[in-house]
Structure 1
Amino acid sequence: MNYFLTYAVYVLILSVLMGASTWKLFKKMGYSPLLAFVPFYNYFIILKETKHPKWWAILSYMPIVGPIMMSVFHIYLMKKFGKHLFQHQLLTVILPFIYMATVNYSKDVELEDEAANELFMTDEEKNEKKKDSFIGSITFAVVFATIIHVFVTQPFGIPTGSMERTLLVGDFLFVNKWSYGYRLPMRPVSIPFLQGTIFDAGEKGNPKDDPKSYVDAVKLPYERILQFNKPQKKDIVVFNYPQDSVHTAIDRKDPYVKRCVAVAGDTFEMRGGRLFVNGKAETFLGDQEVQHRYIVITASQLDIPGLYKTYGFLPVSEQQMDKGGFVYGFQGLTDKTAADIKQLPQVVSMKEDILEKGYSAVAYRDELKKSIDTTQSIFPINKPWNQDWYGPLKIPKKGDVVAINQETLPEYQWIISEYEHNNLEKKNGKIFINGKETNQYTIQQDYYMMIGDNRDASLDARFFGFVPEENIVGKPMFTWMSIEGAFKDSGSSYQADGWRIRWDRMFKATNTGEANKTSYWWVAAMILILFFGWEYFMKLFGKNKTEE
């Protein structure tokens, strides 16, 4: 409810600004000045008077799309009063309500006589009108694509091997934003198609200084509508990285894709590199393959390019020993691949690489080990856990009352302060939430454990902890494109030359769990045929109508 109240306040503010800066122009067009203050209807009048489709008015106050459409409608209005020059349009876009107010309160502004303008229009002016029409077509193509991107489905690329071999590096997916209810946009003023930043400054710059693709000051609270389902165990889920310190906006944090292995109320555990939920060993779906990390010692150098071409994704480190021979560290080896490599004549020994129990995987930002790097350390940082020996850890559920003390605080501090937006303080060994000393806390939303299928090469919930429900984006629907070589394989000493399209993966559903998924390329072909066929039909219909 807070979302819609906040949204209504923004609409009211914009409507007042619109009315205050255009009411005289509405009066000159023959309407009551008060109508300039009425949301949606004010833009309906502008579209009616400028002979554009009136239904476009419903787009005027929509998040993300709205600011674009408002700029277009404002330009239409200004042209109605003779403001055709480029500088007029630029001022209308950059300083909309200020520039429109100067026109509104100008004594000599009058409506254009459009019939006379058409009659005495020069060739140059006609060409300019055609150019405006072309730019308008491009604008609405962008708007249509933005509506699909924001409100229906979002494309997502797989840049790393954390989900191998279920999702391959270079797979491009479409994510259904309605799978778990639609999460309403939280930063309504932003540049379409950009996630968090306009561009990255690179390794030398501070990521926090990168120009944002959204206006952080204009924000709406979290709200999800039509939520008939929640993430289930085994679902592949796209979510916003919880501990992104660069972006405060939840829906602008970096998108990640992992498998949901445990839901709210479950207990998660890793024992010797094997995953357990509620004390039971995990079961594998048809599209999952058990993968592990291995240390291989060889008498001579292996043909890594040849192995890469045979087995595909193969992150590997290589080091030559002082006494001859080589040591290789392989990640993501299936049982079959590991057995094949073990049979190679150069291999002297091969063993699964499992971290010791009790070894705490804590990373530091400095050589003196005073500053802990929480993004690279096992969660929570006060436990003697690592990727292979982890937990047991209970996943918080909405309504759970949890004990808060010095021992449990590292487990819940992000939930309290960041995910559920409370003021958390520690004073003299005591814990204060919103200014009150306490030893317990009630969880306000459900949380999930998201882990990569390629367990030994995945930065997942074992590092960044619980994923809040508010960070859930949706469920991948299908792979619309798959390009080997599109991204560099993280951690691999060998990269394939060039790139190639994996035709066999295109238009296959993602979340079925089947080993042999059905390809729906024919659906894509039908959509293209209908789209271009409809365009051809409309052109033909328009031509016949003109000839009549």
Structure 2
Amino acid sequence: MQLKNIFRKKVTDKQKPKKSKLREWGDAILFAVVASTIIRGLLFSAYAIPSGSMEGTLLTGDYLFVSKINYGPRMPFTPLAIPFTESTVYGIKTYWDGIKLPYMRLPGLSEVKKGDIVVFNKPEEADPQYDRPVDARTNLIKRCQATAGDTLSIMNAQVYVNGKAVPNAPKAQTSYSVTTDGNDINPQALRDMHIEVTQQTSVNQFEMIIPTEQLATFKKFGNIKNVVPVIQVAGEYDPQVFPHNSAFKWNQDNFGPLVMPKRGMAIALNDSTMALYRRAIELYEGNKVTVSGKDVLINGKKATRYTFKMNYYWMMGDNRHNSLDSRFWGYVPEDHVVGKAMITWMSIDSTGTFLDKVRWNRILKAIK
């Protein structure tokens, strides 16, 4: 015999409160916003490539998925912000910097490795005139060439890390000086080979950015007389290049050696190390630095040594002569790292016709 529980109140359909259509839509939108915010903040984000600094590895018009779990999701510095927007819209901030949290990152699958293609916030915008918290700074994408503790040099455009040459990316690009016999080069051929003419200095003299895989074919053109790499001379000082100090006769093709700061690494403070590392000590690690004669004061106290709190990385574009990167604004601190570029999920060629606007061969392509 079945017994009834007399203490349990039977709930009928009439007793259940019925949600209005507006309430149902509101709940659905709230759930979607919360879920997408968690996914975007902790798992991955989508980004677009707006410029050619990583060509031909990544092309202008590529749309990427960037993993945040590889290096560990970075917690927001400014937690109060309008989701899914840029840091400023029409000059208006989309975040409130009244609350600023310290740098914190959840555990990840790995550390940043040499050769990784990394999305990070632009270190140059740590300068006071920008007045932006780290996570509101411009996002950039480059390839990591050196990690914390490494010694990096560039000799005749070849990168060396810890004394060993770093293999160039398979689709790396750089500038070449091209001499012709005076006859015009077919413009359609240049477009088909993705060769960019950056300047013409005379009737038969050009500077061009040529993809590595097209170089041998281009040299065989009947009107091409000579093709040589454009390389700045060693010892020629370029004031645009880090550390922007004439004591270091460095340029974008001949640079260093420079040691990447590492968490726990201590350095002596002198004229040379201050030129190379003051930016990190002051702007990235939040110290007040003053120099009085030969004395260095950090937060008002005389110091002869400094120990770094973070790891730092060296990032460069694969399109070497069309990339503003670490050669110009220095190393990237770990708190600026956003994530690792993993896959191209869409690619749009703005110069293509209606039928070939989409680069079908790049859809769902792994990034290397």
Give the structure-1-normalised TM-score.
0.59
2:67 and 2:172 map into 1 onto residues whose CA distance is: 27
Residues 389 and 497 (structure 1), Cα distance of their counterparts in 2 relative to 1, 3 Å cut: farther
Residue of structure 2 in register with 1:516 after alignment: none
Query: Within 5 Å, which residues of 2 pair with 1:50-129?
Result: 129=20
Equivalent position amino acid for 2:360 in 1: W
More helix by share: 1
- 2:11 — aligned with what? none
Residue 275 of structure 1: which of 133, 156, 159 is its match?
159
| Whole-angstrom distance in 2 between the partners of 1:318 and 1:184 | 44
The counterpart of 2:346, out of the listed 450, 474, 481, is 481
Alignment gaps of 5+ in structure 1: 1-114, 119-125, 200-209, 363-376, 486-494, 514-548
- Counterpart code for 1:267: T
- How do 1:217-296 residues align onto structure 2 when only pairs under 5 Å count? 217-244=98-125, 245=127, 246-284=130-168, 288-296=170-178
Q: Hey, what does 1:452 align to over in structure 2?
A: 317
Contact conserved, 2:57 with 2:172, CA < 8 A, in 1?
no
Cα RMSD of the aligned pairs, angstroms, is: 2.4
CA contact (8 A) 2:151 2:259 kept: yes
Superposed displacement of residue 410, structure 1: 2.1
Is the 1:305–1:496 Cα contact (8 Å) retained in structure 2?
no
Preserved contact between residue 196 and residue 247 of structure 1 (Cα < 8 Å): no
Deviation at 1:247, TM superposition (A): 4.8
Partner letter of residue 36 of structure 2? Answer: A
Q: 1:409 to 1:320 in 2, by over 3 A?
A: closer
Pair 1:137–1:464, CA change in 2 (3 A): same
Change (3 A) 1:402 1:337: same
| Structure 2 Cα separation of the partners of residues 290 and 184 of structure 1 | 33
Please say if 1:331 is aligned against 2:209: yes
Q: Give 1:4-83 correspondences, 5 Å limit.
A: none
Contact 1:332/1:457 (<8 A) preserved: no
- CA shift, 1:461, in A, is 0.9
Aligned partner of 2:328 among 463, 476, 480? 463
Deviation at 1:274, TM superposition (A): 0.9
Counterpart amino acid of residue 347 in structure 2: S
In our comparison, the structure showing a higher alpha carbon Rg is: 1
SS in 1 for 2:153: strand
State the identity %: 38
Counterparts of 1:271 and 1:302, CA distance in 2 = 32
Q: Residues of 2 paired with 1:378 and 1:463: CA distance? A: 4
Partner-residue secondary structure (3-state), 1:225? coil
Q: Alpha-carbon deviations, 1:228-258, whole Å to 9, x = none?
A: 5211111111111112142531122111111
Match of 2:9 in 1: none
CA contact (8 A) 1:237 1:476 kept: yes
Q: Of the two structures, which has the highest relative contact order with CA contacts closer than 8 Å and spacing of 6 or more? A: 2
Question: Offset at 1:417?
Answer: 0.9
Which amino acid in the other structure matches residue 229 of structure 2? E
1:532-543 to 2 correspondences below 5 Å: none
State how many pairs are aligned: 347
Query: Could you list the per-position Cα deviations for residues 27-61 of structure 1 after superposition, in whole angstroms to 9, with x for gaps in the alignment?
Result: xxxxxxxxxxxxxxxxxxxxxxxxxxxxxxxxxxx
**Aligned equivalent of 1:66:** none
Q: Which amino acid aligns with 2:82?
A: I
Distance 2:291 2:257 in 1: 27
CA offsets, 1:276-329, max 9 Å, x none? 1111111356xx234331011330332233321x223x33224363xxx24321
1:120-159 alignment, distance < 5 Å = 129-131=20-22, 133-159=24-50
Q: Which residue of 1 aligns with 2:67?
A: 176
> Could you tell me which residue of structure 2 aligns to residue 361 of structure 1?
238
- Which consecutive unaligned segments of at least 5 residues does structure 2 have? 1-14
- Mapping 1:279-428, distance limit 5 Å: 279-284=163-168, 288-298=170-180, 299-308=182-191, 310-312=192-194, 314-319=195-200, 321=202, 325-334=203-212, 336-362=213-239, 377-382=240-245, 383-428=248-293
Kindly provide the amino acid, as one letter, of the partner of residue 366 in structure 2: A
CA distance in 2, matches of 1:445, 1:220: 17
Query: In the superposition, relative to structure 1, how do residues 243 and 320 fare at CA in structure 2: closer, same or farther (>3 Å)?
Result: closer
Change beyond 3 A, Cα 1:327–1:136: farther
Which of 443, 448, 452 matches 2:308?
443
Equivalent residue for 2:85? 194
Higher mean alpha-carbon deviation, 413-422 vs 290-299, is at 290-299
After superposition, the C-alpha distances for 1:433-470 in whole angstroms (9 at most, x for unaligned) are 10012232111111111111222221111111111111
Return the letter of the residue paired with 1:333: P
Q: Is the 8 A contact 1:332 1:456 kept in 2?
A: no
